[in-house]
Amino acid sequence: MEIRKIVVIGAGTMGHGIAEVAALSGYQVYLVDVAWDFLNKAKEKIQESLNKLAEKGAIKNPQEVLNRITLSVDYSVARDADFAIEAVPEKFEIKKKVFESLDSVLPPHAIMATNTSSIPITDLAEVTKRREKFIGMHFFNPPVLMKLVEVIPGKYTSEETINVTVELAKRMGKVPVRLSKDIPGFVGNRILLRLAQEACREVESGEATIEEVDAAARNLLKLPMGVFELSDYIGLDVMYDLWTVIVSRGATDVPCKMYKARVDAKELGVKSGKGFYSYPAPGKFVKPQVPNTTKVDPARLISLAVNEATWFIENGIVDAKGVDDVMIYGYNFPKGLTKMAEELGVKRIYDHLMDIYKKGYEAYKPTKLLEEIALGKRSF
């Protein structure tokens, strides 16, 4: 199946970013939203982004790229599209209406993709008449800069739909990581949650301060941001919602009061000017200061995340390379999570997990695969 025209529904941060990526890749793009105000703002943002790319020498003619994007408040423009990508707010009812509207105008061969990060792919597919042509295509923010795309099939998704979507991601210059099935939070958000849970546990149990945890993340693991710093940057309300969704759909929880307390106090991170750290003004990010030294063991900090990684591998969701690609290309890790685990010592990570597990934290029970790797019987 050849893709020539792509329709993107939703002109917000993710939507206009995805539309720009598609246009940069040579595709004709329709960008649809409910009001011209949203569309005109999106066009301004795309123009700014293209101008920056031109200044850096990444593209030659911004206007040529912009000319490939047609703005509309009418779904009928999708009547000749080959591929549709939905990027509207994370509310099932809103997405349901989008896909019902798309289904009535898209040609029979067209594939529908959702950029959701939390709603089950199968649930959304079931509102359409083309379940086998429905798939998750999860871009990371900002789409123009971030290389990762998680490709998630639902219960009905055909192999052809998966292959076409993977190939489209590659043609967009992205690194697609294909999951074998739909799981809550996919790969990236589940690992992010596990990092946040262990960071919270260390602080609330009195093992370390927020600053000491982030010092370990930045100075020892060489991550671009500390765990609490990243949570502030994403938005504590977003993190809390993500946490709630993944746990409500079956992931074992780790008790933590810090996130909800701050959300209740309207301390949402960078967007409100205060979260785990304070910022100069709402929306004004300045990198928080953390100490140069810390008593936090980086192997302990990533222990729960590594355990989650082995759960993915053990259950055939993705392989070790898939896990590593997600963290490198989706979160700017300097190296893959499994590579970090090997360098720090899987036995050391296993011992930390057992120590915390014995204190009553069920989520820390080591997987069989992690135990076998720690004992030298297997490798990632």
User: Does the structure show a pLDDT above 90 at 1?
Assistant: no
Provide mean pLDDT across the span 271-283.
97
User: Domain residue spans in the chain?
Assistant: 5-178, 188-257+286-374
CATH topology of domain 188-257+286-374: N-(1-d-carboxylethyl)-l-norvaline Dehydrogenase; domain 2 (1.10.1040)
**pLDDT tens track for 294-352:** 999 999 999 999 999 999 999 999 999 999 999 999 999 999 999 999 999 999 999 99
Catalytically annotated residues: 117, 138, 150, 189
Provide mean pLDDT across the span 127-148.
96
- Give CA–CA dist 88/91, Å, rounded: 8
For residue 54 the two structure tokens come to 């031109």
Beta strand extents in 95-218 (DSSP E only): 111-114, 134-139, 148-153, 175-178
Q: What pLDDT is recorded for position 101?
A: 95
**pLDDT tens track for 94-134:** 999 999 999 999 999 999 999 998 899 999 999 999 999 99
CATH topology of domain 5-178: Rossmann fold (3.40.50)
User: Does the structure show a pLDDT above 90 at 262?
Assistant: yes
For residue 250 the two structure tokens come to 């079956």
Compute the mean pLDDT over every residue in the chain, rounded to the nearest whole number.
96
Query: CA nearest 344: which of 287, 286, 301?
Result: 301
